[in-house]
Chain A
Amino acid sequence: MSICLHDVSFAYRQDTLVNDVSTEFAAGQVSIIVGPNGAGKTTLLKLISGELKCGAGNISYHGRKLTDMSLLEQALARAVMTQASHIVFDFLVKDILAMGWVRPNQGMMKTQMQAVIEQCHIADYLHRPFNSLSGGEQQRVQFARALLQVCPMAPLTQPAFLLLDEPTSSLDVAHELMLLELVQDAAAQGIGVIIVMHDLNLASRYADNIYLLCKGALIASGSPGEVLEGPRLSGVYGTPLTVEHHGGLNRLMVYAQ
C-alpha cells in the first residue's frame, strides 16, 4: 500500500532536476520531503502527482503505473494542494469545497462534506465568499477541498494520497500548527500524506519519514532520527548545522551555529 518510485529522473533542457530517485511513500503516514532551494522537491512532487511526466523510470500507486491510470483514476488516487492560486470570481467557501468531490456518486457528497467540514473546523465561514477569508482560512479551505477529494469511504478500496506543496508557507505559527494537526488526523485515517517543506524542525516534529533531497538526488530517507544528522545536513545545506535531542519536547531540533 504505497507509492513506489523506480529510477525516476526528470530533466528540463540541460538541467537534471530529479536524478535517479528510487523510494517508497507509505499510506497512513506523513512523509516530508526536505532539501535546500533548487533541490528538486517541488519537481519530485509534480512527478508523483502526474503533473510532470518522468523522463526515465516510473511511478506506481499500489503497484499500478501512474501512466496507465486515467485522469479520473488519478484524481481518486491522490489530491494535490499547491500554494494557493488567486481565484477571480466570488465563489462561496462551500462552492470551493464542493469542487473537491470528483466521485460520480453525488448522493454520498453531503455526508462526506459534513465530515470534512467538522474535521477542518470551517463550518463558521462556509457561506462566506472565499476571497473574503484570511490567508490562513483560505489555506484551510483548500486543504479541506483536497481532503474531500481523497477522504476514505466505505467500501474502502485503496488508501489515497494527499500531496502538499509548502502548505504552510504563507501562514503564521499558530495556523501552521493547526494545519499540520489536520494533516496528522488525515494520516491517522489511513491517507498517505506527502509534504514538501522547508522547516526542518516542523519536519522533525510531524514526519513519520523524512526524505532529504539535494541537487535532484535522494541523499537519505527514513525516520527523523535516521535522516537528521548534523554533518549530513551541514553538507547538504552548505552551512554549519547542529542537531540536538530536546529532552523536554522529546524530539530532534536543528540549529544554525
Chain B
Amino acid sequence: MLTAQVSKLWVLLALTVISLFLAFSVGAIPLPVWEILRQQATDLQHTVFFEIRAPRVLLAAGVGAMLGLSGACLQGLFRNPLADPTLIGVSAGAALGAIAMIVLGDLIDLPAGWAAYAVPLAAVAGALLVTSFLYGFAAWFGQFSIVTLLLVGIAVNALSTVGIGAFEYLSDDRQLRNLVFWMMGSFGRAGWDTVIPALLVMSAAGILLIRQGRQLDLLQLGEAEAAHLGINVGRLKRVVILMSAVAVGAGVALSGIIGFVGLIVPHLVRLMIGPLHRYLLAGSLLLGAGLMVLADLLARTVIVPAELPVSLVTSALGAPFFLWLIARMRRR
C-alpha cells in the first residue's frame, strides 16, 4: 500500500538523486557524467571525477544525511524542535575531540597508520560526551523546556570553545592550520582513504537510527507512556545518543562544523510529510543529503576558482529559517 507519506518519500529520493547528478556534473571543471562512465572523457576529467569530485560529493551527501537524520532523532529524543547537533553543542564536542587528538596525538606519538582513525574516533567520543551530558542534565531536571536546552547548548558550545582555545595555544603552527578547518567546515579535503570508512560507519549508524522511528513516535507520548506501550526506553535512549554521536562525529572529523542542516532539514520534512518519525527519519536523511550536496555545489562554484566554506552557505540559508521558526513558535 502506497500511503501519502511513502509517495512523498519517493519524491524526496528523486530530488536527492537529481542533486547528486547535478553535483557530479557541475563544478569548476565541467564533467559530463555519461562520457566519463563510457570512458570517453579526457584523463584529467577522469582523474578529477574519481579522485576529487566523487569522494567530495559522496562525503557531502553522507554528512548531510547524517546531520539531517541525527537532527530528527535528537529532536525526537529531547522532544524539542530546536535540538540541532550544532546548536546544542554536539558538533563542537566532536570538533573538540578531534582537535584534542590532533594536538595530543603528536605528543603520544601514534603509529602513522593509526592517526587517520584516531581523529574520527576522538570526534565521536567528544560528540558522545556532550550528548550524554545533555541528556543526563535534562533527565536531572525532568525535561528541558525548549529554551533551556538552547541555553545549555550555549554553555556547552562555550565550554568547547574554551577547550579548543586551550588546544590552539598548545598547538604549533602546522597543527593550528588544521584546527582552523574544524571551525569552518569544508568538504574540500575528501579523499577515498577517509571517505570510505566514514561512509561505512555512517551507514551503520544510519540504519540503526532509522529503525528507531516507531519507537521515537511512541516516545512523543512521554517516557513512561512509551514504556507502557512496550518500548525499552533506556535502550532507545542509548541507541539514539550513541548512534547520533557516531553519525555527527564521523562527519565532523572529516568536514568540520557545519551548522543548521540538522535543524532545518527535519522541519522541512515535517512540513512536507508530517511529524511521524517512521517517515520523518528517512525523509530527513534524504533531504539532508540532497541539501548538503547542493550547498556544497554552491560553495565550490560561486567564486570559482576559489571556494566558500560550506558552513557559510548553510548558515546563510539556515539562520533566517531559525528566526522564522522562533517567530512561529512564539505566536503559538
Contacts and interface: CB of A to CB of B under 8 A. Distances in A.
Given A99-B218, A99-B221, A89 B227 contact: no
A79 B315 CA distance: 45
Nearest to B235: A71
Given A71-B232, A90-B270, A91-B220, A80 B81 contact: no
A102 interface: yes
B275 A89 contact: yes
B225 A92 contact: no
Contact of B81 (A88, A99, A100): A88
Interface string B170-207: 00000000000000000000000000000000000000
A88 B80 contact: yes
Contacts of B230: 71-72, 74-76, 102
B327 interface: no
Given A80-B225, A82-B224, A99-B221, A89 B270 contact: yes
Interface in A23-62: 49, 51
A85 B222 contact: yes
Contact of B225 (A82, A88, A91): A82
Nearest to B220: A87
A99 B217 contact: yes
A79 B275 contact: no
A92 B228 contact: no
A99 B229 contact: yes
B26 interface: no
B239 interface: no
Contacts of B221: 85, 87, 96, 99, 145
Contacts of A82: 222, 224-225
B36 interface: no
A128 to B, nearest CB: 13
Contacts of B222: 82, 85
B274 interface: yes
A199 interface: no
A91 B228 contact: no
Main secondary structure of the interface of B (DSSP, over half): loop
Given A75-B229, A99-B217, A99-B229, A91 B275 contact: yes
Contacts of B80: 88
Q: For chain B, which range describes its interface: under 10, 10 to 19, 20 to 34, or 35 or more residues? A: 20 to 34
B8 interface: no
A238 B101 CA distance: 66
Nearest to B81: A88
Given A91-B220, A99-B217, A51 B227 contact: yes
Contacts of B218: 99
A204 interface: no
A77 to B, nearest CB: 10
Nearest to A145: B221
Contacts of A89: 79, 81, 220, 270, 275
B79, B80, B275 pick with most chain A CB within 10 angstroms: B275
Contacts of A95: 217, 274-276
Contacts of B275: 89-91, 95
B230 to A, nearest CB: 3
A74 B231 CA distance: 10
B228, B230, B276 pick with most chain A CB within 10 angstroms: B228
A168 interface: no
Given A91-B275, A91-B276, A85 B225 contact: yes
Contacts of A209: none
A102 B79 CA distance: 21
A149 B218 CA distance: 13
A99 B227 CA distance: 12
Contacts of B270: 89-90
A88 B144 CA distance: 12
B232 A88 contact: no
Interface of B: 79-81, 217-218, 220-222, 224-225, 227-232, 270, 274-276
Given A71-B232, A100-B229, 10 more contacts: A51-B228, A74-B230, A82-B224, A87-B221, A88-B79, A89-B270, A89-B275, A91-B274, A99-B217, A99-B229
> Which 9 pairs from chain A and chain B are nearest by CB?
A75-B230, A89-B275, A85-B222, A80-B228, A72-B230, A71-B230, A88-B79, A102-B230, A75-B229
17 contacts: A75-B229, A78-B228, A80-B225, A82-B224, A85-B221, A85-B222, A87-B220, A88-B220, A89-B270, A89-B275, A90-B270, A91-B220, A95-B217, A95-B276, A99-B221, A100-B229, A145-B221
